């Protein structure tokens, strides 16, 4: 694929339709769909075999009879996941893909019940082993798909080829966004000019596919046509849609302050209505979120107990003082809550910070932007860096979750000085939900994101909240912690 940076900075004349088509007819791109389907389906089969084999091994090791019927469901994995839409390679979003994967696994369980009359190979323990199989296939399949999707993105095979209609500023911004984030699943390959674009065809970030008036019939090289509402297209004698050389159209509306996930369209006479679900306002959804918090936090706290004790002892050896650090933070409804963390800093951390900021202007500027330092003199040697890199210092906050002060997933609870750096409107929105141990910021930018990035990601989470998004964030948190990216 062409270098993204070069595409964004080029100022030469756009390619002709013939030159664009030749550049996009590589062998790999011509067979993109079969390659994507083969990669994703093989990953699912490998994950299902590995999960089933692992469960059977564990069953035998604890002295139970290991049934073999579970392997009989493996041939159904590919057709079921194909039918729920997991092998399209051009969307939906990773969050929606996780929801579809849950539906696919549930469908496999239902088929198993219809075929066998009970979950496959369950011997005398049908419920326990069946749930283990389902959860293992779901989680391992999610991680394998994440890895395979990253490989497909790296080789330029993830994303359907799309042409952007119009050459206005909004259309160019859309093209740059898609170039910078291939995980969206749309690969911009050029612009389609409209009648009002004759004066804006120079210095395009992508080649020129052609002019709207000259295009006719469907072009197999274009799967999507993207256009920025009717205002960007300009007034035309008739609708431009019939002349677009593609069978799939995507209208991109720049509507601020609305969620982008879980939307539904409704026909309203001659118009189209968009239904927006606000799940965080539904009491039963909040009850379900609380149940999930307790189901995960209670056993996790029991397992984390010995780890917390070992880390606390190590902290005591390096620096005398309390091993558990208690700090007041801003919680839901702007109420103060006391959060618990393993201490990763010296007991006199505040004095060390002020002295460091006074003597180092670069560090002071970094602190004003991130409220964190890449080289923080307050951090305890070895053990402090290790806990922050692995987020093990957050383990005591499981107690906050059990108490109901926090949730497993949500915007991080910030100190008052951090919250005061945001505008009043955002503070009200942010404190309308329960703070969490992990969230969108942690799986996206972690400490690499400045205040504006934090604000954007928190708003995305609050406006798009659902149980599916929470479960997705929990699974992605494991990957982020293992990679230790952006940890400070």
State the pLDDT at residue 19.
Answer: 47
Q: Which residue has the higher pLDDT, 71 or 194?
A: 194
Hey, which residues does 162 pair with through a beta bridge? 188, 224
Structure token digits, residue 13: 């004349």
pLDDT bracket for residue 364 (50, 70, 90): confident
pLDDT bracket for residue 213 (50, 70, 90): low
Tokens 């329960």 sit at which residue?
434
State the pLDDT at residue 298.
Answer: 96
> Three-class SS of residue 330?
strand
State the pLDDT at residue 185.
Answer: 84
- Angular region, 373: left φ>0, alpha ψ -120 to 50, beta rest: beta
From 244, 259, 180, select the one nearest 214 (Cα to Cα): 244
Could you give the percent of the chain with pLDDT greater than 90? 24
Structure token digits, residue 204: 């395009």
Q: Report DSSP state, residue 210.
A: E
For strands 407-409 and 436-438, give the pairing: parallel
State the pLDDT at residue 382.
Answer: 87
The Cα 97–Cα 85 span in angstroms is: 8
State the pLDDT at residue 142.
Answer: 92
State the pLDDT at residue 297.
Answer: 95
Domains and CATH numbers, the chain: 4-12+159-254 (3.40.50), 32-154 (no CATH), 283-344+379-483 (no CATH)
Structure token digits, residue 104: 């696919």
| 191 touches 209 (CB < 8 A) | yes
pLDDT bracket for residue 143 (50, 70, 90): very high
What is the sign of the dihedral through the CA atoms of 134, 139, 145 and 148?
negative
Give tens-digit pLDDT for 57-96. 877 777 666 555 556 677 888 999 999 988 876 767 888 8
| 8 touches 176 (CB < 8 A) | yes
H-run or E-run covering 51:
helix 32-61
pLDDT bracket for residue 295 (50, 70, 90): very high
* 105-120: average pLDDT: 74
The Cα 48–Cα 187 span in angstroms is: 30
Q: Which residue has the higher pLDDT, 214 or 104?
A: 104
State the pLDDT at residue 405.
Answer: 92
For strands 271-276 and 224-227, give the pairing: unpaired
* 244-254: average pLDDT: 71
Structure token digits, residue 2: 């062409």
User: Phi/psi at 186 (nearest 5 deg)?
Assistant: -125, 125
pLDDT at 468 over 60: yes
pLDDT bracket for residue 203 (50, 70, 90): low
State the pLDDT at residue 447.
Answer: 58
State the pLDDT at residue 166.
Answer: 77
pLDDT at 269 over 80: no
* 312-332: average pLDDT: 91
- Most confident stretch, 182-191, 265-274, 405-414: 405-414
State the pLDDT at residue 22.
Answer: 46
pLDDT at 44 over 60: yes
Structure token digits, residue 112: 């198993």
pLDDT at 406 over 90: yes
Mean pLDDT lowest for which of 84-88, 146-150, 195-199, 453-457? 195-199
From 447, 306, 444, select the one nearest 373 (Cα to Cα): 447
pLDDT bracket for residue 9 (50, 70, 90): very low
pLDDT bracket for residue 367 (50, 70, 90): confident
State the pLDDT at residue 303.
Answer: 95
Q: Which residue has the higher pLDDT, 426 or 263?
A: 426
State the pLDDT at residue 359.
Answer: 85
Could you give the percent of the chain with pLDDT greater than 70? 77
pLDDT bracket for residue 26 (50, 70, 90): low
State the pLDDT at residue 4.
Answer: 33
The Cα 115–Cα 328 span in angstroms is: 56
Start-to-end C-alpha separation, the chain: 34
- Cβ burial of 82 (10 Å; 0-12, 13-18, 19+) is middle
* 441-469: average pLDDT: 82
Question: Half-sphere exposure (CA, 13 Å, Cβ side) for 86?
Answer: 32
pLDDT at 38 over 80: yes
| 370 touches 418 (CB < 8 A) | no
What is the sign of the dihedral through the CA atoms of 327, 331, 337 and 338?
negative
For the chain, give the mean pLDDT.
79
State the pLDDT at residue 294.
Answer: 96
* Residue 21: partners with Cβ closer than 8 Å, 6 or more residues away: 221
For strands 160-165 and 186-193, give the pairing: parallel
């Amino acid at each position: 694929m062409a270098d993204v940076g070069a595409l964004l900075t080029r100022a030469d004349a756009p390619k002709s339709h013939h030159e664009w088509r030749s550049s996009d007819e590589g062998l790999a791109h011509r067979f993109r769909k079969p390659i994507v389907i083969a990669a994703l389906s093989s990953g699912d089969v490998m994950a299902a075999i590995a999960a089933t084999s692992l469960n059977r091994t564990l069953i035998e090791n604890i002295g139970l009879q290991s049934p073999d019927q579970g392997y009989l469901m493996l041939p159904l994995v590919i057709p079921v996941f194909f039918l729920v839409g997991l092998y399209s390679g051009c969307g939906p979003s990773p969050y929606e893909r996780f929801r579809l994967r849950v539906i696919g696994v549930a469908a496999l369980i239902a088929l198993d019940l219809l075929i066998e009359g009970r979950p496959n190979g369950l011997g005398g323990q049908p419920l326990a082993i069946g749930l283990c199989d389902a959860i293992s296939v779901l989680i391992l399949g999610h991680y394998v798909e994440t890895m395979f999707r990253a490989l497909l993105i790296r080789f330029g095979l993830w994303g359907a080829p799309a042409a952007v209609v119009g050459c206005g500023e909004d259309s160019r911004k859309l093209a740059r966004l898609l170039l910078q984030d291939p995980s969206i699943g749309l690969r911009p390959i050029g612009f389609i000019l409209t009648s009002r674009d004759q004066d804006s065809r120079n210095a395009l970030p992508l080649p020129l596919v052609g002019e709207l008036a000259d295009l006719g019939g469907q072009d197999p090289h274009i799967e999507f046509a993207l256009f920025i509402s009717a205002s960007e297209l300009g007034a035309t004698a008739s609708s431009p849609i019939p002349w677009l050389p593609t069978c799939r159209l995507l209208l991109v509306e720049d509507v601020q302050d609305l969620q982008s996930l879980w939307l539904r369209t409704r026909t309203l006479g001659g118009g189209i209505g968009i239904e927006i679900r606000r799940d965080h306002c539904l009491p039963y959804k909040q009850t379900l979120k609380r149940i999930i918090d307790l189901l995960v936090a209670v056993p996790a706290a029991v397992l984390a107990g010995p780890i917390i004790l070992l880390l606390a002892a190590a902290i005591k050896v390096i620096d005398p003082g309390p091993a558990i650090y208690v700090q007041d933070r801003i919680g839901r409804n702007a109420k103060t809550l006391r959060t618990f963390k393993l201490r990763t800093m010296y007991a006199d951390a505040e004095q060390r910070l002020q002295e460091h900021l006074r003597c180092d202007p670069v560090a002071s500027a970094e602190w004003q932007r991130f409220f964190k330092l890449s080289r923080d003199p307050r951090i305890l040697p070895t053990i402090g860096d290790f806990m922050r890199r692995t987020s093990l210092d957050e383990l005591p906050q499981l107690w906050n979750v059990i108490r109901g002060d926090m949730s497993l997933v949500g915007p991080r609870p910030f100190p008052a000085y951090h919250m005061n750096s945001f505008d009043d409107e955002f503070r009200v929105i942010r404190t309308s939900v329960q703070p969490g141990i992990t969230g969108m910021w942690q799986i996206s930018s972690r400490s690499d994101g400045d205040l504006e990035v934090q604000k954007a990601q928190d708003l995305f989470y609050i406006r798009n909240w659902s149980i599916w998004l929470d479960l997705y964030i929990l699974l992605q948190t494991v990957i982020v912690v293992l990679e230790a990216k952006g940890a400070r």
